[in-house]
Amino acid sequence: MSGFSIDWLTLREPYDLRARNPAVLDAVGAAFDTLASVQVVDLACGTGSTLRALGPHLPARQNWKLVDNDLGLLARATASPLAKHAAVAAIPLDLNRDLEAAFDGPVDLVTASALLDLVSETWLNRLAVEIAARSIPLYAALSYDGRIAFTPSDPFDAAITAAVNAHQRTDKGFGPALGPAAAAFAIARFESLGYSVAHGASDWTMGPDDIDIQSEILAGWASAAQDMAALSFADTAAWLKRRHAAVAAGRSSLHVGHVDFFATPSATR
């Protein structure tokens, strides 16, 4: 499965949904509970998981602009079952090149999930300046923060984790990525622009029964470690073989750190 494939995004969605920080979701809902309707722009929407996760927390009348540069994902996102009153539009856009165009027209809320760890400091600054100029709040969920805990432990876990975190900082299409530093950087940046930020952990927890997703993640991490040439090919392959054996034996668990935040400007629209 590739990094942004429908199969991968579909596999991870229930884990993302379970991981989303409930206090942060409640804070988003509370910010809009006096409005009759809300206009949302979801950046890098994928198959529309943010719409499905956040929609029930927002006023019944919702207008979503789903933005992505992958036409297949956009088609899937707009075909998904929606809240009764939600109007959904697909906006094909390269967010690296044309970020500013995403905010054309009225916007009450900008959302993003599993995006900020892919972007560079420069791009995140651009996003912050752009939406602060319009006093728009931002809900940003599921930014990977570099923490991984493996059960059972393996002598190569630390080296693989270091390689994964180094790989996370390579260019994902937006310049050198912030990777594990993204959420902390973004929170500090929005606070410096006068925003109040509610934040909390949204960690993935996967137990022995979560076989498919653990298998995918472990294979992805082995591939990232190989790209970074952190360990020898033989050591990486041996690590993956031991990990897959633990998954198959029902002895494997994973804990993966993420952060959610909701940033609101001092004077909301």
Distance CA 95, CA 107 (A): 17
Q: Which span (43-51, 124-132, 157-165, 260-268) binds ligand SAM, by CB under 6 A?
A: 43-51
223: left (phi over 0), alpha (psi -120 to 50) or beta: alpha
How many residues bind to ligand SAM according to rule CB under 6 A? 18
- Provide the minimum distance between the beta carbon of 67 and ligand SAM in the complex, in angstroms, as a whole number: 6
Nearer to ligand SAM, 183 or 246 (CB): 183
Question: Which burial class, exposed, middle or buried, applies to 213 when counting CB atoms under 10 A from its CB (0-12, 13-18, 19+)?
Answer: middle
Span 73-92, contacts to ligand SAM by CB under 6 A: 73
> Minimal CA–CA distance to 62: which of 83, 47, 78?
83
* Member of 21, 113, 120, 168 binding ligand SAM (CB under 6 A): 113
> Minimal CA–CA distance to 151: which of 253, 219, 257?
253
171 binds ligand SAM (CB under 6 A): no
114 binds ligand SAM (CB under 6 A): yes
> Minimal CA–CA distance to 235: which of 165, 149, 157, 150?
157
Both tokens of 15, joined, read 């884990």
69 binds ligand SAM (CB under 6 A): yes
Chain residue at closest Cβ approach to ligand SAM: 46
Q: Which span (108-116, 199-207, 209-217, 260-268) binds ligand SAM, by CB under 6 A?
A: 108-116
Q: Where does this chain bind ligand SAM (CB under 6 A)?
A: 4, 9, 44-46, 49-50, 68-70, 73, 94-96, 113-115, 173
